Amino acid sequence: MFTNRYIFIYSTVMVVVVAVLLSLTAMLLQPKQEENMTIAKIQGILAAVNITATPENAEELYKKYFRTEAAIDQNGQVASLFRDGTLVQGNVRPFSIDMKKELYNKKMGTPFLSPFFIAEIEGDTLYIVPLRGVGLWGPLYGNIAFGPDFNEIIGAQFSHDKETPGLGAEISLKAFSDQFIGKTVFDDAGNFVSIKVVKGGVSTLAPAKQDHGVDAISGGTITSNGVTDMLNNCLENYISYIKNNIDK
């Protein structure tokens, strides 16, 4: 018959042992988890410019096509520049910037950075903007690729953590992201209008606005609205930079 004191000591020791084992396991797995997250991020960027990458060749392809990364401050000024494997300006590599943290800083009215990635593909300079937003059940992610004018979309990629299968989760399908190709985020007068994910379909918009809209996910209204908000909230950060640095 075990005494209460014995049971208490035994339980305490087991809890400590299990906690230590879990901590050690987490520490050992952390580098691999971070590597997997990096590769997934690279695959998303490449997918936006229609380059399919495996975990084995993702980093090689990224280095081949993406020689430059940049980050601008809230005023549209370049604050960080990474080129050919070297940080030439600033103190943080744009690829490593935490979008969640920077968008929170923006919301709180404090200084923030907005990264983008520059690719050279078949003689064209392409600009890829990373996205982060909120869906129905969790965060949304994505990348939008622009042509040399930093206005017309030439590719897009979206993903999520917890959206409903068959409904909001369909933003990760190519059928959804392909709708963005050829759309523009500035109107003919040079005003930023972003892209709207339209419930009921883009055909319900006035003809002048159809170049700035795509069809929403059927039954995924909240997720679709989340994509609209994500696009507007992220892309508006680049307006000053685009108008001051990109030839139209």
- Whether 181 maps to a domain, the answer reads yes
- Whether 35 maps to a domain, the answer reads no
pLDDT tens across the length of the chain (248 residues): 567 676 677 677 787 777 777 777 767 756 666 777 899 999 999 999 999 999 999 999 999 999 999 999 999 999 999 999 999 999 999 999 999 999 999 999 999 999 999 999 989 999 999 999 999 999 999 999 999 999 999 999 999 988 888 889 999 999 999 999 999 999 999 999 999 999 999 999 999 899 999 999 999 999 999 999 999 999 999 999 999 988 65
| Helix or strand run (H / E) with residue 78 | strand 78-83
Tokens of 182: 């050829």
Pairing relationship of beta strands 78-83 and 196-198 according to DSSP bridges: unpaired
Residue 3 pLDDT: 72
Residue 13 pLDDT: 74
Q: Which domain holds residue 205?
A: 66-245
pTM: 0.86
Residue 44 pLDDT: 96
Total domain count for the chain?
Answer: 1
**Closest C-alpha among 109, 131, 121 to residue 194:** 131
Helix extents (H) in the chain: 4-48, 58-65, 99-108, 174-177, 221-235, 239-245
CA distance 232 to 196: 8
- Whether 30 maps to a domain, the answer reads no
- Whether 210 maps to a domain, the answer reads yes
Torsion of CA 148, 77, 91, 32, to 10 degrees: -40
Helix extents (H) in 49-89: 58-65
